[in-house]
Amino acid sequence: MSNTVLATKWRPKLFSDLIGQDPVVTALINSLDNQRLHHTYLFTGTRGVGKTTLARILAKCLNCETNGVSSKPCGKCASCLAIDSGQFVDLYEVDAASKTKVEDTRDLLENVQYLPTQGRYKIYLIDEVHMLSTHSFNALLKTLEEPPEHVKFILATTDPQKIPSTILSRCLHFNLNRISQDIIQNQIKKILHNEAIDFDDLAIKNISKIADGSMRDALSIAEQCISHGDNKITYENICKILCLMPSEKINEIVEKIVSNKTDLLMKLIDQMYYQSADFKYVLQELISIFHQTALYKATHSLSNNMYDKSIKELAEKFNEEEIQILYQVGVASLKDLEYAPDYKSGFEMALIRMLMFAPFNLESLNKVNNEPLKQDTNKDQSISEKKSIKKSKIEDGEILSIENNWAIIIKRLEIDSISKNLANNISFNFKEGNCLNFLINKDLEGVVTKKSKDKLKEALSNYFKKNIDINISISNKNLSTIHKKNEKDYNDKITSANKKIDDDDFIKTIKEKFNAKSIESSVQIDD
């Protein structure tokens, strides 16, 4: 095997060798073959997609001694060989990131009026042109307005938004796309076959994914893996080199989310931390899984990848809306990850948010299905509120009680204001089969209408993903309802606010001096 860097050794020499940029290549071929040449070309796109390579191929097309100006340079003449080796005297390559001053630009353009020494055209290739200063752009602008016939400018940048519009308007602009994962995979496999390097398909698939549309990045990662694996690329080596978590671990995270096993999930995160896991990468993989799950529920087809098991589990456990919520939580958490004290704590918070949306298990809502729940109306309700996520142990594990989480369920139901008013004024009694039994105070009997009851039943059926029936009985007892709780909380706040007003020394002074009184009914509490 040659010691030459793969990205350099396999750099395309002709338009036909360039991958993933067919629209741009077609446009350039047509313009060259029809002799419709522009004086300034602008190539934009992310790193490693072929901007500089395309510029050098174009330079050969313009200066080939054998075939003249055409889309197929011979690659064997003195000009073609000199351009390939970086020794062509009429090709001026400038890195604008290190030559930003106006003096550098003026020095570059000082000899622009003179004819080329060796080739047909003088080629000025300015890479990362957006890094030029304002004065440098102004100096370049004059030449671009009236360029000599023997001069061609090729500008390349990853950030065209920073280029002045006066420059952009004088360029023939070509945007190079990110290269697709499939194309990168095929190209890497082709190169590795020619280099006699062993590899497994899962490794190549992950390299193409991590490269994020950059062929150069993909080849750099592959070369790193070759060195680490002694001329062999494996999925395990990629995980070790890039501190990535194996797919088995990520599948395990999904399984813990599905089963709502918080303790085990936190222990798993601790293990990953000591294995130097890249939590940003893991979160990105989870988001990708949620995205693929949404597609699976819509199309009922899998891409046959390493996360198929997790996708099926998520699709079975969560509905479309819940998958969307998980996806949004993941995306929002990814944005917030940079602001977390560390990636581990940020990742933990992301998973805790996701666990909040685990579906309720209707079959396990109560430990005893047919036995009415005893209510102590004289008991302070604040105690039960402190236990808002109370869990009961059954065969399926830890699940949430509908009694203690009725307020949460109401918030998630898609119902109108009338049905919501009904839900807020009823108290859960017991479950019998798929029928939920509620109680309502006699003075609120009028709230129960056929329409509101049917709407609430439909919403609960959609929420629990099965047919739910509800029965509402009249009770003479003082029932504990969401409405009463909210009313009590509000009154407590009013009372507390009035007490703070009365205890305030300044208010006391005002009252004594002016014989003033505070009107309790005027006190308002912000929600």
The more confidently predicted of residues 486 and 352 is 352
Nearest Cα residue to 203 out of 188, 187, 220: 188
Distance (Å, whole) CA 500 – CA 496 = 6
Out of 75-84, 456-465, 511-520, pick the least confident. Answer: 511-520
pLDDT surpassing 70 at residue 379: no
Structure confidence at residue 83 as a pLDDT band (50, 70, 90): very high
If DSSP codes are grouped into helix, strand and coil, which group holds residue 283? Answer: helix
pLDDT surpassing 70 at residue 353: yes
Cβ neighbours for 354, distance < 8 A, ≥ 6 positions apart: 257, 326, 329, 330
Q: Do domains 182-241 and 247-355 have the same CATH topology?
A: no
Structure tokens at 155: 């500008």
If DSSP codes are grouped into helix, strand and coil, which group holds residue 113? Answer: coil
pLDDT surpassing 90 at residue 433: no
pLDDT surpassing 80 at residue 132: yes
pTM: 0.61
Residue 506 burial (10 A CB sphere; 0-12, 13-18, 19+): exposed
User: Which residue type sits at 307?
Assistant: Y
**Per DSSP, what are the bridge partners of residue 152?**
123
Other C-beta atoms closer than 10 Å to the C-beta of 201 total 10
Nearest Cα residue to 61 out of 94, 84, 87: 84
pLDDT surpassing 80 at residue 286: yes
CATH class label, 182-241: mainly alpha
Please report, for residues 420, 427, 433, 452, 467, the alpha-carbon distance to residue 470 in angstroms, rounded to integers and kept in the order given: 15, 12, 11, 12, 10
Q: What pLDDT shows up at residue 504?
A: 74
Q: pLDDT tens-digit profile of 500-519?
A: 777 777 677 777 766 767 66
Helix residue spans in 169-228 (DSSP H): 181-194, 201-211, 215-228
Q: What pLDDT shows up at residue 359?
A: 54
Structure tokens at 57: 């191929």
CA 457, 458, 460, 464 dihedral sign is: positive
Q: What pLDDT shows up at residue 381?
A: 43
CATH code of 247-355, in short, is 1.20.272.10
pLDDT surpassing 90 at residue 408: no
Identify the DSSP state of 465.
T
Question: How much of the chain is helix, strand and coil, in % rounded to 5?
Answer: 55, 10, 35
The 3 state secondary structure assigned to 287-308 is HHHHHHHHHHHHHCCCCCCCCH
Q: Provide mean pLDDT across the span 308-316.
A: 87
Structure confidence at residue 21 as a pLDDT band (50, 70, 90): very high
What are residue 149's phi and psi, to 5 degrees? -65, -25
pLDDT surpassing 60 at residue 385: no
CA 240, 242, 246, 249 dihedral sign is: positive
Structure confidence at residue 388 as a pLDDT band (50, 70, 90): very low
CA 439, 444, 447, 450 dihedral sign is: positive
Count Cα atoms within 13 angstroms, Cβ side, for 79. Answer: 26
CB 403 within 8 A of CB 373: yes
| Every domain of the chain and the residues it spans | 6-175, 182-241, 247-355, 363-480, 486-522
User: Which residue type sits at 476?
Assistant: N
Q: What pLDDT shows up at residue 169?
A: 92
Q: What pLDDT shows up at residue 361?
A: 42
Look at the domain 363-480 and name its fold. GMP Synthetase; Chain A, domain 3 (3.30.300)
Structure tokens at 146: 């009236």
Q: To the nearest whole percent, how much of the chain has pLDDT over 70?
A: 87
Q: Provide mean pLDDT across the span 197-223.
A: 88
Would you say domain 6-175 falls under CATH 3.40.50.300?
Answer: yes
Structure confidence at residue 403 as a pLDDT band (50, 70, 90): low
Structure tokens at 111: 């000899």
Distance (Å, whole) CA 112 – CA 186 = 43
